[in-house]
Amino acid sequence: MNHKVAFSFADGKTLFFHVQGNEILLDAALRHGINIPLDCREGVCATCMGRCESGDYSLDYVDEEALSAKDLQQRKVLTCQTRVKSDASFYFDFDSTLCSNAGPVHQHGVVTAVQQVSPTTAILHVDAGADGQHLDFLPGQYARLQVPGTEATRSFSFANRPNTANHLQFLIRLLPDGVMSNYIRERCLVGDEIRFEAPLGAFYMRHIEKPLILVAGGTGLSAFLGMLDEIAERGCGQSVHLYYGVRQVADLCEASRIAGYSECIPDFTYTPVISDEGQDWDGKRGYVVEHFDAAKLREEPFDMYICGPPPMVESVKTWLQEQGLDHAHLYFEKFTESNT
């Protein structure tokens, strides 16, 4: 049985390839032109070391000088001794340029719809498989889109999971005057060609073995829609809590889609939070950190993913430190919305 594998690197690049049957991971990578540094090929030197971020695997032989018991517990692997048992992703602590000239793919797609999902937000739907192309990415990664009719580019997280139909979604904040916002409001037509570069970014969902806390600020929600679509499809066996902070009620979007996750993710909960005062709103107010349950978070280890503006990411990190919860595994993307 073939499995799809993603290799992510310290420079944020991700390369995808397929592993055949019981093939050694390193051999499959080399076959696809991904030249992972290697020396002994016998599980001794650790030159080919990476870390499994998601998926199942087995190791043939590992010398104890190459990987310690702690390394193994942390899912570090020697690619020359690894056989994957499912689709999987691996991280390497060096740049992709060390082993490949390949990088994100420059591709194009066709606009299939623009869906206004709140007074200030739209989802751009793009068919990226119109001429037989295929795009691989990990839930949480992003694409850099060229705004049609201009040379300007803007980056947006994928708002859905990877799929064989190559149907892409991007959650876009509609600014009063922004190059992408103006395009969407004034000129965008179904059938428009749109060029993009993808996949980009090191913010993506890892192997899930602890309760998950997801913290979205504004259209940082986009990355989590992709992750939650993936969890809804594949399951994860852990509780998942989404915090979603926005300034105004008008900024909240995809409420019914988020509510729908509780039907397919058994222990899914959701807390929207509005920060602007004077809004007509019965729910939580203020900033998301004010609504974290420190006592509950102390009860068991958890992984936290944050995607939002830099001040929000910093406030969450500070709060975790103040609460003595800095042992939590934290993944974050500081998401700066363009003003133009």
Residue 1 or 69: the one with the smaller Cβ distance to ligand FES is 69
Residue 80 or 289: the one with the smaller Cβ distance to ligand FES is 80
108-126 burial: b if 16+ Cβ within 10 Å, else e: ebbbbebeebbebbbbbbb
**DSSP assignments along 49-97, one per residue:** EEEEEES-EEES---TTTS-HHHHHTTEEEGGGEEESSSEEEEESS-GG
Q: Cα separation of 245 and 248, whole Å?
A: 9
Residues 135, 166: contact at Cβ < 8 Å? yes
Find the shortest distance in angstroms from Cβ 236 to ligand FES. 31
Q: Which residues pair with 153 in a beta bridge?
A: 146
Binding site for ligand FES (CB under 6 A): 38-41, 43-48, 66, 78, 80
Residue 46 or 105: the one with the smaller Cβ distance to ligand FES is 46
Residue 43 or 272: the one with the smaller Cβ distance to ligand FES is 43
Q: At 93, which amino acid appears? A: D
**Nearest by Cα to 99 from 46, 50, 29:** 29
Find the shortest distance in angstroms from Cβ 82 to ligand FES. 9
Find the shortest distance in angstroms from Cβ 22 to ligand FES. 17
Find the shortest distance in angstroms from Cβ 52 to ligand FES. 15
Residues 211, 238: contact at Cβ < 8 Å? yes
The total of other beta-carbon atoms located within 10 Å of residue 326's CB is 11
Residue 44 or 179: the one with the smaller Cβ distance to ligand FES is 44
Find the shortest distance in angstroms from Cβ 80 to ligand FES. 3
79: which 2 tokens? 């690619």
Residue 63 or 87: the one with the smaller Cβ distance to ligand FES is 63
Find the shortest distance in angstroms from Cβ 202 to ligand FES. 24
